[in-house]
Amino acid sequence: MAEKIKVVLGMSGGVDSSVAAHLLQKQGYEVRGFFMNANVSGKSRLMMSISWSEEEKMVRKICEILGIQLHVVDCEKGYAEHVIGPMFEDYKKGLTPNPDTLCNKIGKFPKMWKYAQEIGAKYVATGHYTRVRKGRKGYELLMGKDKSKDQSYFLVDLQEKDLKHILFPIGEMTKTEVREIARKRGFPNWDKRGSRGICYLGKIDMKKFLRERIPEKVGKVVDSNGKVIGHHPGVMYFTIGEKVGDAKGAWIDRAREKWSGEKLYVAAKLKGNKLVVAPSGDKSLLTKRVLLKGFHWINEKDKETKGLKARIRHLGKLYAGKLQKKNGKWFFVFQRGVEGVAPGQMIALYKGEKMVCAGEIRAYN
């Protein structure tokens, strides 16, 4: 009997990776579970809503049901230093980083592939709702079949050399189909709520979290004409496009006589710790062009530049526009002005269902 091909599967306590493990087994692979615990000590000082001890217990239950060997990695220190640390530094600079993409780039996939090589595994796999396809020019990264769950945006840093040895078993399925398989298979997490919030932290009060590490620095709140209408605790606590107001503790010493009472949104962060806000529909909320830092092609042999659409956040709307290169720098020009474009976030460019290229949003106008 031929030896089975080994696959290292990134697992959590959720239903998606559990069903991915089951599907890989059905396809004839020898599956090795890989679980990264971000709070092994149980004493992490990071604000988090995830119970890592419970997540690990669930993973062990699934592996026991399926007869899978599990490899647990202590990533508590590395996560704090290499993901959360840089995240805070970016916020201090006024950026809005995406730690989920960084988790995948420097943590999950490199660590899984290293372990795969150590045990002679040919592939790594995850329970992401996305797909890999081998085309005429090599491997391509595609959106998941379930567009309401598509997670390709979080994988913007994967490239063709990575896609050659990555499997996404549930990419062709819907969440409903995944849950039904888990229910029939008797998985105890078949109806478990999906993860939300920041990778490895979960759903948390982000402003409170930032205040733990970044001290307040009071600055002026101005309207789109430069008129001072109040004060804020620091531009690092805000992101472009965010709705602001008293209920969220956005204001300090509000200038009531200059306050219109309208719902306002963050339009810009200016030098000198100034926060520009404007009512919905104001032109200052619109961004027409962005500079792409760290621009890269998913497949160097598949450099399409026409007919691309941009996504600036997970499951966000796809915006038409043009990819341009000027003086060695890459830009994306939106067909129409777009609201909520925040420097620090990733921008992924698609041709139909295929992600063609990506980069980090920096300067904009």
Tokens describing residue 229: 């209408």
Domain that holds residue 111: 6-127+169-185
* 50 and 64 inside one domain: yes
Give the pLDDT confidence score for residue 249 in this predicted structure: 47
Please determine, for residue 358, whether its predicted confidence score (pLDDT) is greater than 70: yes
Both structure tokens of 30? 């020898």
pTM of the predicted model, to two decimals? 0.91
Residue 124 reports pLDDT greater than 60: yes
**Domain-embedded: residue 257:** yes
Q: Is 33 exposed, middle or buried (0-12, 13-18, 19+ CB in 10 A)?
A: buried
Say if residue 270 is in the same domain as residue 297.
no
Kindly indicate the confidence band of residue 49, based on its pLDDT and cuts at 50, 70 and 90: low
Asked if 144 and 131 count as a contact pair (C-beta separation under 8 A), the reply is yes
Q: Is residue 95 part of a domain?
A: yes
Mean pLDDT of the 222-246 span: 86
Nearest alpha carbon to residue 12 among 38, 31, 46, 42:
38
Q: Are 153 and 141 in contact (CB under 8 A)?
A: no
> Both 66 and 178 in a single domain?
yes
Look at residues 24, 39, 2, 6 and name the one whose alpha carbon lies nearest to residue 115: 6
Are the beta carbons of 5 and 30 closer than 8 angstroms? yes
| Domain finish residue from 280, 302, 324 | 280
The token duo for 126 is 């995850």
Together in a domain, 108 and 41? yes
Alpha-carbon dihedral angle through residues 309, 157, 332, 271, given to the nearest 10 degrees: 130
Instruction: Using pLDDT thresholds of 50, 70 and 90, give the confidence band for residue 106.
Output: confident
Question: How many CB atoms are closer than 10 A to CB 48?
Answer: 18
* Residues with catalytic roles: 103, 199
Same domain, residue pair 67 and 110? yes
Mean of the per-residue pLDDT values for the chain? 90
